[in-house]
């Protein structure tokens, strides 16, 4: 079951989102529930300091990367 709701734009905006979710659900069903095109992982940058290592995530502001913090 799919369900979508917007916070603005009225009922018609929710219907538009519902149509997008329906297309994604149908594509997954047609592909036997295999992930079609998953998100890319962000790049991890290492910075070595005195007695510590700092890890930071890079390349996170693209549409293909999940929203990591």
pLDDT-based confidence at residue 4 (cuts at 50, 70, 90):
confident
Q: What local confidence, expressed as pLDDT, does residue 65 receive?
A: 62
Q: Collect all residues with Cβ–Cβ distance below 8 Å to 37 and sequence separation of at least 6.
A: none
Are 2 and 30 members of one domain? yes
Q: Collect all residues with Cβ–Cβ distance below 8 Å to 20 and sequence separation of at least 6.
A: 4
Are 45 and 61 members of one domain? yes
- Give the DSSP letter of residue 33: T
For 10-52, how does the pLDDT look when each residue is reduced to its tens digit (9 = 90+)? 878 889 889 988 998 998 899 888 876 667 777 889 999 999 9
Are 44 and 31 members of one domain? no
Are 42 and 63 members of one domain? yes
Q: What local confidence, expressed as pLDDT, does residue 69 receive?
A: 53
| Residue 68 pLDDT greater than 60, yes or no | no
Are 27 and 1 members of one domain? yes
Report pTM.
0.47
What is the largest distance, in Å, between two alpha-carbon atoms of the chain? 57
What total of structural domains would you count in the chain?
2
Are 27 and 44 members of one domain? no
Note down the domain range covering 17. Answer: 1-35
């Amino acid at each position: 079951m799919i369900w979508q709701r917007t916070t603005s734009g009225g009922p018609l905006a929710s219907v538009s989102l519902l149509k997008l979710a329906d297309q994604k659900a149908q594509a997954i069903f047609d592909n036997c529930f295999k992930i079609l095109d998953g998100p890319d992982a962000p790049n991890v940058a290492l910075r070595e300091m005195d007695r510590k290592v700092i890890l930071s995530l890079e390349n996170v502001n693209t549409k293909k990367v999940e929203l990591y913090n």
